Structure 1
Amino acid sequence: MRAVPLVSVVVPAYNAERTLKASVDSVLAQDFRDFEIIVVNDGSSDATKAILEAYDSQIQVIDQNNRGAPAARNAGVSAASGKYVAFLDSDDLWSPDKLTQSVRALEANPSASLVFTDCCGLRADGTSSTFYSYQGAPSLKEMLDNGFEIVPSAVTMRRDVFEACGGFSDRFAPIYFEDLWLWFLARELGEFEYIPKELTTIRLRDKRLADSYFINGRTYIEFLRQRYGHRARGAIRQTCKHLAGVSVHEALRRMDAGDSWGAAGWWIYAIRLRPTLIAEWGSRVFRPRNLRRLVRTVSPSSKVS
């Protein structure tokens, strides 16, 4: 009879043929051995399935129609048997001691709902640098005042906490902001532990954002308002600032492509998110040179994941 593992590693994968093997191999290279790997093939149409088949019994594979990363992670946790659940996106990597240090932190603090680490950012040219570094584990008030972002690949959490939170909300399908909302719910159920080491590497990439990024951003703001009211005004303000910055970047892209009307639409959306832009730039905002100056004011600083 197979022993129940202490940790279940859940990897959602969608058309991940270029990066999936390196991600799975970084789990298999852990110096902590009491784990299972569950990869959810989320309707991939490339060679993802063939790559997974090569691992044979080393991993458990769940095949499903494409439903997005939140649903894929939820499916993985539903099949998990571990006390702890560790998430790893199919383009991210772990240091060999990621699970050892994460489990040690959770075992030492039974009241902690999850543990997270610093992150290194890996660029396409192979260079890397610190991407997420924190001052410590936040209180719920600090999260409500300032917002708080942890990428799933940096998190290991108690499975019973994940289930008590209802998992990743399907309101955020297919992807974006589902993780930020889950961390708020998890923080209500226990404190966070923080490991000030870059045990997680996230791949940095340039890509156009889907419409769901902005739809889910508004949903996230709506959830914060409904659950926390005025206490969440700081987190809401930070989210609006970020979305405004992303909108200005899209306006610039449209202008470079000669789509003036599209650029104007994205600029209006940015103003709706951050009305102070009008006072800051007035009637000059549609002049390209000023719009390019503006981007430095509202430029988003977070990784798009």
Structure 2
Amino acid sequence: MKLKLLYLSLAIFISLQASAADFDLVVAKDGTGDFTTVQEAINAVPDFRKVRTRILIKAGSYKEKVIIPATKTFLSLIGEDEAIITYDDYASKKNRYGEEVGTSGSSTLYIFAPDLFAENITFENSSGPVGQAVACFVAADRVHFKHCRFLGFQDTLYTNYDQSRQYYEACEIWGSIDFIFGASTCIFYKCHIHSLADGFITAPSTNEGEKYGYIFYDCRITAEKEVKDVYLSRPWRPYGKAVFIRCELGAHINPLGWDPWDKPNPAHTVFYAEYKNSGKGANTKHRAVFSRQLKNLDDYEIEKILAREDGWNPIQSKQ
């Protein structure tokens, strides 16, 4: 019996060692890794590496503002279950000089480096319903999130960079007002989008002439029980683009679906469209007149949208 237990313990030890060997750096709050904070691990990565650096973030709540500068290329951040990066800044909060930090200054995580991959991590702004309070600020190209959670209220996810391509795979995004906003081209594939209060899911600021903005494929759009009046989008800038494809829309979606905000002629500037959505909020009979229903998915293949000139394909790439 003792020999059997010894073999079992040895097998577990070998398994753990093999798992740790898959990573270049390990972050652990309890001191069992290479670093106790996420920022320390990122700082330790050599600048402009041509190969991928894999960082394991062990289970725990890491209260810190994390910045991934443009020099930290090809990072992979992999979380154990319950790996949370959290902070509680918000737009009207004062810095040490008595100045408001603003929306951009409120974020928990900042991504400026291209080719980032993050998996199984929760990014949270814990300040609550206090106005703009960003959980994740993405100002980089070729960014891929998989099985990640983005938690906040107003302005949860800021897709800041207009030349950025971002791919969200099986992620969860929670918020209330404009909680996915910005100028980037973003694909949300099989994600869960959850409204905590009446408001607007997206607020794209797509540049004039840009072919794509936000595209949601096969997503589940839900809300808290008391939430009854949510719009799919309103345009932060006149040429905002958002498309919902084969999504399950809850009863909380306003029959109009889309809000023009203060844009004087949305029919000539915005591109808001749907294709074969389902659920109680998918009835298109009363949709806003400036929105449209796609007849087919020509030009809406995920790989083609993200490829551009460099052929980026996060679906096939090894992270």
After TM superposition, is the score higher than 0.5? no
| Larger strand share, 1 or 2 | 2
Q: TM-score, normalised by structure 2?
A: 0.28
RCO (CA 8 Å, sep 6+): is it higher in 1 or 2? 1
Q: TM-score, normalised by structure 1?
A: 0.29
